Structure 1
């Protein structure tokens, strides 16, 4: 007899972690499996947190985040999108993932439906399933010109009982960004049916053909059923800080204050002062980091283009390459063998759901030296298969 809920028992472990754990047992692996840069958090951010700690900012905070951080986030959003977002619509969360959990808890009853545009980071679907959602995946289509979305397939999937349509833009792992005209059509559909759009915009600054990615903030009004998740992790190299933020519709402040109170009771005070410094003073670092990712992208794309049997799907967002290898169907087995035989850590595409079963993800937010060496090892390994 088990004490654990069936929904929890049914959760599947992430194949990424399966490969990652194996990699820890092998010496000399160049790890390109995880979605994080290999640069530490900038010193000015760390110093702001250290200063706050030294000044005694060690007490409970406002549940939705310290006022200073919510204020600089509102100013940041105004600067990027030209939109006024009241700070009572902003909640600082314990990572972007916590924001997804909060929205799931707020909107989903057991048996409700959620539509997830895939390939998608596996934690998203798991969070919704924990809340009791029945998840329907709508896969992107890959082609020589990149990834595309069949919006009619989304509309068909979002039938009665659907509470959330989730998308990431730019997406992990594909780098796909929703075109503005599709975003407008999706918003019209959601408005008419009272379905929430959950837009994951964590990679909003990691783009290569424009200063900032298109956001639902560009088109949504404050009363629209749009929830936007973001994070400090990617743009400011703060993955280990576990800090994010959530923008929700007007009128839901009390709802999210209660949810935060009964989940985490708020974030760490002194870390949030590091967040203030990141958002207020971090533009030079963001620009430098995006250029570093651009260089990594060039190295990886050029290397993959030279490898026989490899089809790399182009994109202009995030810091991942998504590719497939002719003859490789079991991506978990391939990635495990890449660890042992090539000493390169990759993420199996099957982890990301429909549309990525035979693909492999590579994170290129790494040093040119490591990327060149990893590409050399990977090329020899693929040739040997």
Structure 2
């Protein structure tokens, strides 16, 4: 059989994740310090793990409603109203999913007809464009700039809108840049979405991880936006629950209902053990989250200072747990820089072009890594940069 012509075209044309392809080089190597995969280095807080254990001990091993446990949905609604300032009906406006990634996939499949355009700001999380393609949509990136701290420029957004544009995807705080969106910018974006009748998918998975009193505003909370916005959130980042694979979507009933139809025939429901652990996270997980956030803040400050001191220009990100230093001063592509850093300095970071063409010239470093390892990585990077500077003379 000729598999080159048998695999579906929209899948065959999708490249492998730039993050995963790069970190195949790292797997199994104990001599590498990784500043790569965006995963908290903290173990899930004990009270959340205990809730999962207790769920199993009580024999809670069944399916749940396709929408998710009603008890969890009610907790989500309370949390979202308190944190984001938006109210939802737990019975038909909340869908519990297997991570935010599934929620994005469901939303795009529920919304897109072939040829519909989806706008998103770039550099961005690696799954956005492939998810659009797999739903038969057309992914349209809007480049953001270092000079704007990688915020989305409303004028650039409006220039990208065409009669085929249907959806705008937002992610603030942003992976990989740590960018945040000032409320004034979100208000301008909201006016454009209303003017052009766009649906907004707002991925706010890093919203708890903000620093220096940076305010987080959900675009769903702005006037006229709740009716056209799907708020996407989950437990992986703030509560260090990556392996639990649990997210949720809050939005207008017609969209959530359409997503649920796809969900029930593909995933059926999220694992009940994860859902019951998530209830504990929402009820009692904030103190641990705040402790983790403070640790991230100190690591961020240290890493940004070290990078700037060694000549890699790096802005101080307002959220998430990534920095995005500029490595363009060297005669190397992002990939070449990252590969040499790995091979010669034994430090793993992700080349910026893994997050789209506008990420070229940058490097993503994740500071969800033990402080001592960050210090060792910076020492090794500094020696590597000195070596590159000597080569350039």
**TM-score normalized by the length of structure 2:** 0.93
1-side partners of 2:214 and 2:362: how far apart?
A: 29
The offset of 1:285, in angstroms, is 0.7
Higher share of residues assigned strand: 1
Structure 2 Cα separation of the partners of residues 220 and 129 of structure 1: 31
Aligned positions, number: 383
Show the counterpart of 2:302: 299
**SS class of match (1:267):** coil
Alignment of 1:281-300 (within 5 A): 281-300=284-303
State yes or no: 1:382 paired with 2:365: no
Alignment of 1:66-145 (within 5 A): 66-87=69-90, 88-143=92-147
- What secondary structure does 1:300 align onto? helix
Q: Which residue of 1 aligns with 2:42?
A: 39
Q: Is 1:236–2:239 an aligned residue pair?
A: yes
**SS of residue in 1 equivalent to 2:257:** helix
Report the equivalent of 2:368.
365
Q: What is the Cα deviation at residue 246 of structure 1?
A: 0.7
Relative to structure 1, is the Cα distance of residues 111 and 216 closer, same or farther in structure 2, using a 3 angstrom cutoff?
A: same
* Cα distance per residue 1:308-341 (max 9 Å; x no partner): 3x11122211111101121154112221222221
Query: What is the Cα deviation at residue 214 of structure 1?
Result: 1.4
Worse-superposed segment, 50-59 or 212-221:
212-221
Larger mean Cα displacement after TM superposition, 323-332 or 355-364: 323-332
The answer to whether the Cα contact below 8 Å between 1:222 and 1:250 also exists between their aligned partners in 2 is no
Equivalent residue of 1:323, what SS?
A: coil
Q: CA deviation at 1:85?
A: 2.0
Within the candidate set 314, 327, 330, 1:312 is matched to: 314
Out of 241-250 and 45-54, give the one that drifted further.
241-250
Residue 348 of structure 1: how far off its partner (Å): 0.7
- The answer on whether the counterparts of 1:349 and 1:360 sit within 8 Å (CA) in structure 2 is yes
Give the Å deviation of 1:221.
5.0
Q: Distance in 2 between matches of 1:7 and 1:202?
A: 27
2:117 & 2:43 partners in 1: Cα distance?
39
Q: Indicate yes or no: 2:26 matched with 1:26.
A: no
C-alpha RMSD over aligned residues: 1.6
Conservation of the 8 A alpha-carbon contact between 1:52 and 1:270: yes
> What are the Cα deviations for residues 262-318 of structure 1, in whole angstroms up to 9, with x where unaligned?
12001111111001111110110111011010011011012112103x111222111
Counterpart selection for 2:178 from 175, 195, 199: 175
5+ residue gaps, structure 1: none
Matched ranges for 1:342-353 at <5 A: 342-353=345-356
**1:212, CA displacement in angstroms?**
5.5
Tell me the secondary structure at the aligned position of residue 80 of structure 2.
helix
Moved over 4 A (4+): 220-223
> Matched residue of 1:294: which SS?
helix
- 1:75, distance to aligned residue in structure 2 (A): 0.8
Distance in 2 between residues matched to 1:223 and 1:374, nearest whole Å = 44
- Cα distance in 2, alignment partners of residues 78 and 136 from structure 1: 32
Give the Cα–Cα distance (whole angstroms) in 2 for the partners of residues 91 and 247 of structure 1: 7
State how far apart, in whole Å, the 1-side matches of 2:40 and 2:256 are: 33
Structure 2 CA distance for partners of 1:93 and 1:349, relative to 1, 3 Å: same
